[in-house]
Structure 1
């Protein structure tokens, strides 16, 4: 697969990228320099592949810097997100995703419930799918997250909001595709192995807002409960507030993921775990915001082509040449997980068997 450079600028501001790899947090996901993927240094690229392989085998989480997404665009996304979530609730609910045929739009507080211990997760969000023409088959067929996006008209500058979201979604689609190219190489597959899987992906951009929780809030009151992601790979942009935690199986404890300016927290989802026959893990994570501050994050969920059937990757079969999971169509898998956590509040059923969560 040809590497896709992310060089588009936003709102005529200069492009600024991170140039250094920050120090890692002990026990946390490693911080990896992604720039060798775009270069011609084969030794550096081999090191990148090894670093990603080690991270996928350990916790299924890592952070990447020097990834090619302009810092100015990242900040513009946070500004647009804060602008929308500051609107009165009656204006936000005009874009209720529950009423959208493709499940795009506004997500109310507590509308998702992963652990089933409270009335729901303490967050609100907004879903955007890829920009597709009205005559695209996915739109005509009512595919989940593949319809016509809604863009709020009540924000400060609706035109800038829409332009920023569209540009960011496209660049993140490119970056997720490149990350999967590296994942393919970690499994001794060709760099372009996932080309068909990535074609016309039902990628979802999600704006999230977490209100502050008291320092003495119940441990059961999560910003988002312990869960594993549904798709193939997630790329998360988080602000500097913190609150994201990843489960560490060896110590049976939760490890904080310290925000790294401009970095993306990358984690593998259920689709990749099935695809790799559990060679790689889809690890538990959660958000608990006890900082006393509002928290904003922008995850990008890359699922794969809705019609693609995930079976078992070459070389990932067990010793008897068998696979643990039956083949599954991407859209069927995503729709089932989405229904369970949003409509039925049965998110705990989606957790992997990596740990027992109290």
Structure 2
């Protein structure tokens, strides 16, 4: 399949840990260009093995194959930790459309209820909810993948530091001290005849710092060219992760790096499964402006809305902007009072 003009590039991450300095410099330059264009690229030859990638996708399918009453035993609404299962149509990412044609389950770092961070009510801290009918193997696969994806996200953050002209350790306190991340399984049922207002996942920007997406072979992910309005396919590449910047990174870099609008349109007759890993970092961190990004980048040629356009350099604690964005997408589909 030939790539559409302007589609996110496919980059080989092997050079990041290799001994070829010229190849590494070129990789960093390519990452830098991609982050300033659409904030999207694909990475091959990462530290996450194909065996583990295949295992986590199979585990996701195994969960969604459960009867609804079994999945509801992990109900997202049963706790305050952002853990558990959301039903089909529970979220609306794009205002003015129908609820998203997807179901999902959230996991995070599996902390017991008596952990100090949980007792303190810190953002995104708590125990995971696992289906009672599944055994230890399901939990182990989730933990193995969470740990592997976290390590890759930390490497990507080091590469982003280099792309910004900083030392590779510049983000270390943010990414290694109490880092927050969310592992999510998503299932998109076949929707070959989507109506005009329907989406698998509506057009949106991600909330956190960096997203690592593992997608199956079905396809359906699209990134918008915000200069022309055109939608560009991001075709699945075996073994690759789709990497994209979130609103946190765009704000932190004063729009030098882009959090781009994207969506999922599953026109296939097949079920689509994906496993995004949303890396937020230390949610107690006070975001200011990264050195070298003090001069605001001109984004007048792009479709950035007012919520991201004003006061981007004002200091703000990360957890506050994450909670606000997350809550809004679920509030849109709450029943209206009568």
Query: By the TM > 0.5 criterion, same fold?
Result: yes
Q: Show the 5 A alignment for 1:86-97.
A: 86-97=65-76
Deviation at 1:136, TM superposition (A): 3.2
Q: Which residue, 144, 149, 158 being the options, matches 1:172? A: 149
Verify: 1:338 aligned to 2:329, yes or no: no
Q: Distance in 2 between matches of 1:132 and 1:44?
A: 40
Match of 2:92 in 1: 113
In the other structure, the counterpart of 2:102 is 123
> In 1, are the aligned partners of 2:93 and 2:203 still within 8 Å (CA)?
yes
Against the structure 1 CA distance between its residues 119 and 189, is the aligned structure 2 distance closer, same or farther, given a 3 Å change threshold? same
Q: For 1:81 and 1:149, locate their aligned partners in 2 and report how far apart those are by CA, in whole Å.
A: 15
Q: Which residue of 1 aligns with 2:180?
A: 202
Please report how far the alpha carbon of residue 109 of structure 1 lies from its aligned counterpart in structure 2 after TM superposition. 1.1
Deviation above 4 Å: which 4+ runs of structure 1? 22-25
1:57 aligns with 2:24: no
Q: Give me the whole-angstrom Cα distance separating, in 2, the residues matched to 1:37 and 1:212.
A: 38
Give the C-alpha shift of residue 342 in structure 1.
Answer: 1.4
Structure 1 residue ranges without an equivalent (≥5): 1-21, 347-358
- Structure 2 distance, partners of 1:222, 1:143, is 33
Deviation at 1:319, TM superposition (A): 7.0
Q: 1:230 to 1:345 in 2, by over 3 A?
A: farther
After TM superposition, list the pairs within 5 Å mapping 1:78-227 onto structure 2. Answer: 78-155=57-134, 158-198=135-175, 199-214=177-192, 216-227=193-204
Identify the range of structure 1 (140-149 vs 283-292) with the bigger mean alpha-carbon deviation.
Answer: 140-149
- Stretch deviating more after TM superposition (41-50 or 110-119): 110-119
**Structure 1: distance between partners of 2:325 and 2:209:** 13
Question: Contact conserved, 2:4 with 2:232, CA < 8 A, in 1?
Answer: no
The 3 A distance-change label for structure 1 pair 84 and 147 is same
In the TM superposition, residue 40 of structure 1 has moved relative to its aligned partner by 2.2
The alignment partner of 1:303 has SS state of strand
Q: Give, in whole Å, the separation in 2 of the partners of 1:34 and 1:52.
A: 10
1:283 aligns with 2:260: yes
Partners of 2:24 and 2:111 in 1: CA distance:
34
* Aligned-partner Cα distance in 1 for 2:133–2:96: 35
In the other structure, the counterpart of 1:71 is 50
Match in the other structure for 1:356: none
1:3-42 → structure 2 map (5 Å cutoff)? 24-42=3-21
CA distance, structure 1, for counterparts of residue 333 and residue 164 of structure 2: 35
Give CA deviations for 1:34-81 in whole Å, capped at 9, x if unaligned. Answer: 011112222111111001001011110000000111101111111111
Superposition deviation, residue 262 in structure 1? 1.1
Say which of 284, 298, 301 aligns to 1:307.
284
Partner of 1:44: 23
What residue in structure 2 maps to residue 18 of structure 1?
Answer: none
1:207 and 1:43 map into 2 onto residues whose CA distance is 37
Q: Secondary structure at the match of 2:184?
A: strand
Whether the 8 Å contact between 2:38 and 2:225 is mirrored in structure 1 is: yes
- Residues 179 and 283 of structure 2 are in contact (CA less than 8 Å); yes or no, is this contact kept in structure 1? yes
Cα 1:230–1:319, aligned 2, differ >3 Å: closer, same or farther?
closer
Aligned counterpart for 2:225 among listed residues 218, 242, 248 = 248
Q: Is the 8 A contact 1:25 1:258 kept in 2?
A: no
Does the CA contact (< 8 Å) of 2:255 and 2:296 recur in 1? no
**C-alpha contact (below 8 Å) 1:65/1:263 kept by paired residues:** yes
Match status 1:298 vs 2:286: no
How many aligned positions are there? 321
- CA contact under 8 A between 2:98 and 2:198: conserved in structure 1? no
